[in-house]
Amino acid sequence: MARKNQTLGEFIIENQSEFQYSSGELSRLINSIRLAAKMVNHEVNKAGLVDITGSAGEINTQGEDQQKLDVLANDTFIRTLTNREIVCGIASEENDDFITIEGHKENHSNKYVVLMDPLDGSSNIDVNVSVGTIFSIYRRVTPVGTPVQLEDFLQPGSSQVAAGYIVYGTSTMLVYTTGHGVNGFTLNPALGTYYLSHPNMKFSEDGNIYSVNEGNYTHFPQGVKDYIKYCQQDEGDRPYTSRYIGSLVSDIHRNMIKGGIYMYPKSAKAPNGKLRLLYECNPMAFIAEQAGGTASDGHTRIMDLKPTELHQRVPFFCGSKNMVAKVEEFIQKHD
Ligand code: AHM
Ligand code: MG
């Protein structure tokens, strides 16, 4: 039973039996993520104080400018998960290829792989706006005791055993699911402890916030344009409120608390949208569904998509159930 103000450590121990395979390995994995998140939080918080923001002069896999804090967050998560010998493989937005964890023979008996976006929305750091970490956890499908393979990472979202995000916001929160609802923990920075502050988080079935980069409006498919016009019409509970931070984690977090829809459609400029299926959309979709919401690419449930590559992009519509159903209706009218 979730108790408000329970610490994350207590919560993990008390709820271990709810984990699909309660060997303790998944609990240790969540514990490592919580530790790495604390270290990243420390760095993100002092970003304005030291000369750490700005481009590191490297270009990441998707051809985008990589920020120094991206590199730092990536290294922190990879180091923490590798040193503690908990996972057998890691895939990250910041690395072209997946990482096989070996070195000690016994590591190969680890069953889990982690996919992550170590610092999402990092273009927001320079202007002191919230950023986040997103993670997705699977059981490997290849035999334990052998090096991980690409197929261990290219699993449909419906096979996730856990997923979550950390939002480095006005408060730092860790929100995650193991398939038994969604719980949110707030970090008390003075004590370095996360407390259960948002037990059993839920999307309302209807919402009144829509979040989309409307600057791309003219490039959107007709169905999406029509839905945006629908959101703006003065009728019933509309017009809805438009809110777009440009930081996926924060936009979804707000919409889960207040009720709303997040959209990153395909466009003439980005034929598959921008967001990555494996470490942005799938974990957010798992959380959304566990909170009573839904996530779709406009036609298909996100977690039913069969991934074909590590850094695959998909259009993304996620949030309150009836709002996602409505945008799908508009999109499918134009098929
Ligand atoms: P990133 O992984 O390079 O940070 O990109 C993902 C981010 C999301 O957090 C955000 O929702 C989206 O990109 C914003 O994109 P845009 O500026 O095109 O609206
Ligand atoms: Mg990202």
Closest ligand 1 atom, residue 251 Cα: 11
Other C-beta atoms closer than 10 Å to the C-beta of 54 total: 13
Q: Would you say residue 165 has pLDDT above 80?
A: yes
**CB 282 within 8 Å of CB 295:** no
Residue nearest to atom 17 of ligand 1 (CA): 246
pLDDT for the residue numbered 57? 57
Closest to 225 in 3D by CA, of 182, 282, 268: 268
What's the chain's Rg over C-alpha atoms? 19
* Pocket-forming residues, ligand 1, beta carbon under 6 Å: 64, 93, 117, 120-122, 213, 246-248, 251, 274
Q: Would you say residue 59 has pLDDT above 70?
A: no
Residue 82: burial class (beta carbons within 10 Å; 0-12, 13-18, 19+): middle
Token pair of 186 as six digits: 């707030």
Taking residues 20-39, report their average pLDDT: 84
- Give the list of residues 6+ apart from residue 201 with CB closer than 8 angstroms, or none: 175, 181, 182, 183, 184, 256, 257, 291
Cis bond leading into 239, ω under 30°? yes
Q: Would you say residue 5 has pLDDT above 90?
A: no
pLDDT for the residue numbered 77? 96
How many whole angstroms from 68 Cα to the centroid of ligand 1? 17
Residue nearest to atom 16 of ligand 1 (CA): 246
How many whole angstroms from 194 Cα to the centroid of ligand 1? 27
Mutate to test the pocket of ligand 1, among 62, 214, 275, 277 (most ligand atoms within 8 A of CB): 275
The tens digit of pLDDT for each residue in 109-136 reads 789 999 999 999 988 887 889 999 999 9
User: Which of the given ranges, 37-51, 79-93, 236-250, has the highest pLDDT on average?
Assistant: 236-250
pLDDT for the residue numbered 51? 58
The tens digit of pLDDT for each residue in 216-233 reads 999 999 999 999 999 999
Residue stretches of the annotated binding site for substrate: 120-123, 213, 244, 274
**CB 275 within 8 Å of CB 316:** yes
Q: Would you say residue 106 has pLDDT above 60?
A: no
The tens digit of pLDDT for each residue in 284-331 reads 999 999 999 999 999 999 999 999 999 999 999 999 999 999 999 999
Residue nearest to atom 4 of ligand 1 (CA): 121
Closest ligand 1 atom, residue 121 Cα: 4
Residue nearest to atom 7 of ligand 1 (CA): 121
Q: Say which ligand is closest to the CA of 244.
A: 1
Residue stretches of the annotated binding site: 93, 117, 119-123, 213, 244, 274, 280
How many whole angstroms from 101 Cα to the centroid of ligand 1? 29
Indicate left, alpha or beta for 139 from its phi (over 0: left) and psi (-120 to 50: alpha). Answer: beta
CA dist 59 and 71 (Å) reads 11
How many whole angstroms from 111 Cα to the centroid of ligand 2? 25
How many whole angstroms from 120 Cα to the centroid of ligand 1? 7
Q: Would you say residue 32 has pLDDT above 80?
A: yes
pLDDT for the residue numbered 62? 66
State the DSSP code for 29.
Answer: H
Dihedral (C-alpha) 42, 276, 205, 133: value to the nearest 10 degrees?
-10
Other C-beta atoms closer than 10 Å to the C-beta of 220 total: 21
- The type of residue at 8 is L
> Pick the residue with more confidence: 286 or 18?
286
CA dist 175 and 282 (Å) reads 15
Count the alpha carbons within 13 Å of 39 in the hemisphere toward its beta carbon: 17
Count the alpha carbons within 13 Å of 121 in the hemisphere toward its beta carbon: 26
How many whole angstroms from 267 Cα to the centroid of ligand 2? 18
Cα 35 off chain centre by? 17
Q: Picking from 1-5, 150-154, 190-194, 290-294, which range would have the lowest pLDDT averaged per residue?
A: 1-5
Q: Would you say residue 105 has pLDDT above 60?
A: no
- Backbone dihedral angles phi then psi of residue 170, each to the nearest 5 degrees: -60, -35
How many whole angstroms from 67 Cα to the centroid of ligand 2? 12
Residues near ion ligand 2 (CB < 5 Å) are 117, 120
pLDDT for the residue numbered 288? 98
ipTM associated with this complex = 0.96
Token pair of 202 as six digits: 């839920």
Mutate to test the pocket of ligand 1, among 92, 248, 312 (most ligand atoms within 8 A of CB): 248
CA dist 331 and 298 (Å) reads 6
Residue with tokens 């449930």: 301
Q: State pTM to two decimals.
A: 0.93
pLDDT for the residue numbered 63? 64
CA dist 272 and 269 (Å) reads 9
CA dist 328 and 326 (Å) reads 5
Mutate to test the pocket of ligand 1, among 127, 274, 276, 317 (most ligand atoms within 8 A of CB): 274
- Give the list of residues 6+ apart from residue 262 with CB closer than 8 angstroms, or none: 211, 212, 248, 251, 252, 255, 316, 317, 318, 319
**Summary mean pLDDT of the chain:** 90
Residue 64 pLDDT level (bands cut at 50, 70, 90): low
